[in-house]
A = this chain, B = another copy of it.
Amino acid sequence: MTGEAKNRRVTAADVARSLGISRATVGFVLNNTRGQTISEATRKRVIAEAARLGYRPHTAAQALARGSSRIVLLVLPDWPVEHSLGRHIAEASRVLEEAGYSLVTYTLHETGVTRPLWEALDPDVVIGMLPFSEKDLASMRASGITTIVPDPQTEPAEWQKGPSVVAGPELQVSHLAGLGHSRIAFAAPDDSRLARIIDARLAVARDTAARMGLTGMDDRRINVHDASSRSAVLEWSRDGITGVVAYNDEIAAAIAGAALREGISVPGQLAVIGHDDTPLAELFVPSLSSIRLDIEGLGRQIAMTALNAADGRGGAAEDPPLVADLIRREST
- Could you tell me which residues of chain A, from 269 to 311, have a CB within 8 Å of some CB in chain B? 279-280, 282-285
Evaluate contact between B56 and A64: CB separation under 8 angstroms. Answer: no
| Interface size, chain A (Cβ < 8 Å) | 53
Which has the most chain B C-beta neighbours within 10 Å: A9, A70, A111, A285?
A285
| CB < 8 Å neighbour of A120 from B71, B89, B225, B253 | B71
* This chain's copy number in the assembly: 2
B-contact 0/1 string along A91-135, CB 8 Å cutoff: 001100100001011110101011101011110000000000000
The chain B residue sitting closest to A86, CB to CB, is B107
> Is the pair B56, A144 in contact by a Cβ cutoff of 8 Å?
yes
Q: Are B56 and A224 in contact (CB under 8 A)?
A: no
Binary CB contact string for chain A from 66 to 94 against chain B (1 if under 8 A, 0 otherwise): 00011100000010100000100110011
Binds B, one of A12-20, A232-240, A254-262: A254-262
Partner of A285, one of B61, B93, B143, B260: B260
**A313 on interface, CB distance cutoff 8 Å:** no
Closest to A283 in B: B253
Per the bound structure, the CA–CA distance linking A122 and B105 in Å amounts to: 16
Residues of chain B lying within 8 A (CB to CB) of residue A107: 86, 89-90, 105
- Chain B residues lying within 8 Å of A250, measured Cβ to Cβ, are 279, 283
A316 at the interface (CB under 8 A from B): no
* Residue-wise interface mask of A (1-24) relative to B, using a CB-CB cutoff of 8 A (1 in contact, 0 not): 000000001000000000000000
User: With contacts A102-B117, A105-B105, A283-B224 known, is A143 near B63, CB below 8 A?
Assistant: no
Q: From A101, which residue of chain B is reached at the shortest CB distance?
A: B120
List the B side residues contacting A284 at CB < 8 Å: 253, 257, 283-285
- Residues in B with CB closer than 8 Å to A257 are 283-285
Min distance, Cβ A57 to any Cβ of chain B, angstroms: 10
A283 to B259, CA, bound (A): 12
A142 to chain B, nearest CB (A): 6
